[in-house]
């Protein structure tokens, strides 16, 4: 079959049937020039394929943005549940399609607001959530069955998922109607981010428990977002981000397979989370290589057969580490460029950073401008009119191959250490990332890597935009709310549920049902994590240098 024959067959058998009702069958440029949905590259281009089919280089779905645009998310969370709820409503009313929740550090680490280790951090970098009551206020007036919900949470992911399940139940929403994504990626916490609570082995158990539970109870929910974003923010390169993320993914798949799950049944619920950095074409190539590599690795290593299992779907966030406090309006340009790279790379979901994030939490006006950036790309740029518009470019295809080759070398290095877990315990990924971050910083300082407004094109007088600040009095308010919550619950029922959780943790059963029962009985994030720590212990990091 010739390339033209394959393209015609794809169009009639896969593309056109995948278009939803009301989707435009014919698209033109702004000047009225007709466009085809997909263009075949001239000559032979190995590994390219067609959108929606193995190896998915050109996109995970046949119709891509011609059928449905990516989900526009703005990562939001600060101070109290009520204030974050107001921000959610503000963005939903202005066209946002999914909610992404940022939690404060105590919530991420499994500490209640009144814990000594929470001092000075309550509500500062995200919303403070300790109880089911807090969670219900966070989503008050927002139907949990009608919006996709992403939660950036890892060590306490199982607890926050339990809150979601119980809160939805109280709204009359069944678990199988819930849509969204839980980050739940513990390996990258040991590599780059640091919000771990338990040692790696029991953390992997919790990750696998969530994957198994969602597979059985929440079929439309993504139980994990395997994240390269934070490793890139810590300073790694594009090939390193790709290699270490996919290696972590392979470890999670292995754990689920060892649990007895069939890769073709559960792998379609796995999702990924990548960074969109400044090198425009390298980022596009990275996204395309990620899909091809994941599909091939699952097929070769686990015998995956179904397209749904091998299809890599990912969320993208623009690179917070590239934002500057100097000349912050220039960040709007950086974010636009990064967002366009994500779109041309085929992302399924996108968060655009706000221009003021190098200074503090995003203000409402800055968050709205960040959302409008996505909407302009979707509605005005023409980037959504053709599937994989850069596919077939000699430069893009060669760069995709180069990124993949470099990433595969690193995956082989991880494999030689026994896989992602063994490499984490040996500090392999951390060493690579720290070296790359050091080399980047040296290049900035000696001027060989130019940063507009930082080491070139500087100005004498800076204009600082308004900065959102969280009131330090919030900690006392949250402590009072938590005391009232504990006083109102059935203390005996709560203690009984927590004791059952500790017993289950000492065994081998899936912990999600007992965690759900505990939060339904009124247990807090800190209480659940405290009982688990009593069985699992607390992770104490060791220097790798």
Per-residue pLDDT of the chain (545 residues; tens, 9 = 90+): 566 788 889 999 999 999 998 787 789 999 999 999 999 876 667 668 899 999 999 999 999 999 999 999 877 788 899 999 999 998 899 988 888 899 999 999 999 999 999 999 999 989 999 999 999 999 999 999 999 999 999 999 999 999 999 999 999 999 999 999 999 999 999 999 999 999 999 999 999 999 999 999 999 999 999 999 999 999 999 999 999 999 999 999 999 999 999 999 999 999 999 999 999 999 999 999 999 999 999 999 999 999 999 999 999 999 999 999 999 999 999 999 999 999 999 999 999 999 999 998 888 899 999 999 999 999 999 999 999 999 999 999 999 999 999 999 999 999 999 999 999 999 999 999 999 999 999 999 999 999 999 999 999 777 777 887 877 889 999 999 999 999 999 999 999 999 999 999 999 999 999 999 999 999 999 999 999 999 999 998 866 55
Q: Report if residue 508 sits inside a domain.
A: no
Measured CA to CA, the distance from residue 414 to residue 419 in angstroms comes to 5
DSSP summary character for residue 76: E
Residue 481 belongs to a domain: no
Is 146 within a domain? yes
Examine residue 21 and state whether it is found in any structural domain, yes or no: no
Residues belonging to the chain: 545
Within 259-329, where are the H helices? 263-266, 280-302, 307-310
- Taking the C-alpha atoms of residue 390 and residue 375, their distance in angstroms, rounded to an integer, is 21
Strand partners, 150: 100, 181
Q: What's the domain range around 411? A: 69-445
Q: Measured between alpha carbons, how far is 430 from 437 in angstroms, rounded to an integer?
A: 10
By CB neighbour count within 10 A (0-12 exposed, 13-18 middle, 19+ buried), where does 252 fall? Answer: buried
Q: Is 111 part of a structural domain of the chain?
A: yes
| H or E segment to which residue 71 belongs | strand 71-76
- Does 542 fall in a domain? no
In this structure, what DSSP letter does residue 388 have?
S
Q: Is residue 55 domain-resident?
A: no
Number of domains composing the chain: 1
Q: Is residue 349 part of a domain?
A: yes
CATH number at residue 112: 3.20.20.240
CA distances from 225 to 200, 304, 349 (A): 17, 20, 12
Question: Which H or E run contains 317?
Answer: strand 314-318
**pTM confidence score:** 0.94
């Amino acid at each position: 079959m010739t390339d033209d024959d394959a393209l015609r067959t794809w169009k009639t058998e896969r593309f056109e049937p995948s278009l939803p009702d009301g989707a435009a069958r014919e698209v033109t440029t702004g000047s009225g020039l007709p466009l085809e949905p997909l263009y075949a590259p001239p000559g032979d281009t190995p590994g390219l394929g067609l959108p929606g089919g193995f190896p998915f280089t050109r996109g995970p779905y046949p119709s891509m943005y011609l059928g449905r645009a990516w989900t526009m998310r703005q990562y939001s969370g600060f101070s109290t549940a009520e204030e974050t709820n107001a921000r959610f409503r503000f963005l939903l009313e202005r066209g946002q399609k999914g909610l992404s929740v940022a939690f404060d550090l105590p919530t991420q680490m499994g500490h209640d607001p009144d814990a000594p280790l929470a001092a000075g951090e309550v509500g500062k970098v995200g919303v403070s959530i300790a109880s089911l009551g807090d969670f219900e206020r966070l989503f008050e007036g927002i139907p949990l069955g009608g919006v996709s919900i992403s939660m950036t949470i890892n060590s306490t992911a199982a607890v926050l998922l339990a809150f979601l399940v119980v809160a939805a139940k109280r709204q009359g929403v069944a678990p199988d109607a819930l849509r969204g994504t839980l980050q739940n990626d513990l390996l990258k916490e040991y590599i780059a981010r640091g919000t771990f609570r338990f040692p790696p082995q029991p953390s992997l158990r919790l990750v696998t428990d969530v994957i198994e539970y969602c597979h059985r109870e929440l079929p439309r929910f993504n139980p994990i977002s395997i994240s390269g974003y934070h490793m890139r923010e810590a300073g790694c390169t594009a090939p390193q981000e790709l290699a270490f993320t996919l290696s972590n993914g392979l470890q999670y798949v292995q754990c689920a397979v060892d649990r007895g799950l069939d890769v073709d049944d559960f792998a379609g619920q796995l999702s990924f989370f990548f960074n969109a950095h400044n090198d425009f074409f390298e980022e596009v190539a990275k996204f395309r290589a990620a899909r091809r590599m994941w599909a091939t690795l699952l097929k070769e290593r686990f015998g995956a057969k179904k397209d749904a299992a091998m299809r890599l779907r990912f969320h993208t966030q623009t690179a917070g580490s590239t934002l500057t406090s100097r000349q912050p309006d220039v960040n709007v340009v950086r974010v636009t460029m990064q967002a366009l790279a994500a779109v041309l790379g085929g992302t399924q979901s996108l968060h655009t950073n706000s221009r003021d994030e190098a200074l503090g939490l995003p203000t409402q006006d800055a968050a709205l401008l960040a959302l409008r950036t996505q909407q302009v790309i979707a509605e005005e740029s023409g980037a959504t009119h053709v599937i994989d518009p850069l596919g077939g470019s000699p430069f893009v295809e060669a760069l995709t191959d180069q990124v993949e080759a470099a990433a595969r070398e690193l995956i082989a290095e991880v494999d030689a250490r026994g896989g992602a877990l063994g490499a984490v315990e040996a500090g392999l990924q951390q060493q690579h990332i720290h070296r790359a971050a050091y080399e980047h910083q040296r290049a900035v300082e000696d001027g060989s890597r130019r940063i507009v407004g930082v080491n070139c094109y500087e100005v004498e007088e800076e204009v600082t935009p308004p900065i959102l600040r969280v009131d330090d009095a919030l900690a006392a308010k949250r402590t009072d709310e938590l005391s009232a919550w504990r006083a109102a619950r059935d203390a005996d029922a709560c203690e009984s549920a927590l004791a059952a959780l500790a017993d289950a943790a000492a065994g081998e059963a899936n912990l999600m049902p007992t965690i759900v029962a505990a939060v339904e009985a009124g247990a807090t994030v800190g209480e659940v994590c405290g009982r688990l720590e009593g069985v699992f212990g607390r992770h104490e990091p060791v220097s790798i240098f």
